[in-house]
Amino acid sequence: KSSLKLKGKTVLITAGPTREKIDPVRFITNHSTGKMGYALAEAAKKAGAKVILVSGPVQLSPPPGVDIVKIESADEMYHAVMNNFVGADIIIKTAAVADYTPKVSYEHKMKKQPGDKVIELERTKDILSELGTKKRNKILIGFAAETENVEEYAVKKLKAKNADMIVANNVKAEGAGFGRDTNIVTLFKRDGTKIELPLMSKLEVAHKIIEEIIVLPKDLESN
Ligand code: PMT
């Protein structure tokens, strides 16, 4: 039965935003709600996989039967992913991970002072990129949230991160991206295949992504 094609496989999925602490009451984050990642967890579970969902702070309940690992910062997500990487056959990086984090996270609430305030940021680790260099016999799927030149940036990410597929969404398009129940995505595979999907619910998009993962030719895996 096609619905159980991932039986015996472990799928590691990341979802939601990260929170980068400035002080105990303030943080930097983004608009991700986790809907896309949680839909993927549900679709992978339905396909028979063991699912580990590494999630940033969101308002959703994990789908039944999915193992949840809750994290807040990009650094915590990095460690949670690396801890679960070895046993995973398929990794799907849906999370909107912060690219920058405050250099200093203050122990006490920052006090208002006259004039402007500068917060210095440093780069976080690029989790997808590191997985791309580490993986052997694993399928790695990345997302690309773009607002322009979607195809060009997605194809660049596919190669630069050594991923097997990139799911690109134009987060400015009506009905696509952060927060909504729908998405419009294009899948880019290593063999140059491009699959443009119409507006669909995030759960339908998730099922389609899982179907496309199942038919990824083994010999195209970038090991
Ligand atoms: O959560 P929703 O509200 O449902 O919204 C869904 C979504 C828009 C968040 C989702 O569809 C999506 O596009 N997720 C990826 C968002 C993103 O961070 O894209 P990016 O182009 O900045 O990153 C590219 C890839 O690198 C992503 O797979 C990301 O997980 C990964 N990354 C990024 C930075 C970092 N430090 N480490 C990473 O692994």
Q: Whose CA is nearest to atom 36 of ligand 1?
A: 126
**Mutation to probe ligand 1, out of 36, 85, 143 (largest number of atoms < 8 A from CB):** 143
Tokens of 216: 């990824």
Per-residue pLDDT of 130-185, as tens digits, reads 999 999 999 999 999 999 999 999 999 999 999 999 999 989 999 999 999 999 99
CB-facing half-sphere around the CA of 6: CA atoms within 13 A:
31
pLDDT score at 3: 74
Pocket of ligand 1 (CB under 6 A): 32-37, 74, 93-97, 99, 124-128, 142-145, 157, 169, 171, 177-179
Per-residue pLDDT of 62-89, as tens digits, reads 999 999 999 999 999 999 999 999 999 9
Q: Whose CA is nearest to atom 18 of ligand 1?
A: 96
The predicted complex's ipTM stands at: 0.98
Residue 219 has pLDDT above 60, yes or no: no
Q: Which atom of ligand 1 is nearest to 131's Cα?
A: 39
Helix H or strand E encompassing 45? helix 35-46
C-alpha distances in Å from residue 181, one per residue of 34, 68, 134: 10, 21, 33
pLDDT score at 217: 76
**Closest C-alpha to 74, from 111, 31, 126:** 126
Give the pairing of strands 139-146 and 90-93.
parallel
Whether residue 53 contacts residue 62, with contact meaning beta carbons closer than 8 Å, is answered with yes
pLDDT score at 107: 96
183 is catalytic: no
> Domain spans of the chain?
2-99+120-218
Over range 36-57, report the average pLDDT. Answer: 98
**Mutation to probe ligand 1, out of 32, 162, 187 (largest number of atoms < 8 A from CB):** 32
Residue 11 has pLDDT above 60, yes or no: yes
pLDDT score at 25: 97
Residue 1 has pLDDT above 70, yes or no: no
pLDDT score at 220: 47
Q: Whose CA is nearest to atom 31 of ligand 1?
A: 128
| Euclidean distance between CA atoms 70 and 58, whole angstroms | 10
Fold of 2-99+120-218: Rossmann fold (3.40.50)
> What global pTM score does this model have?
0.96
Whether residue 85 contacts residue 12, with contact meaning beta carbons closer than 8 Å, is answered with yes
Per-residue pLDDT of 117-141, as tens digits, reads 999 999 999 999 999 999 999 999 9
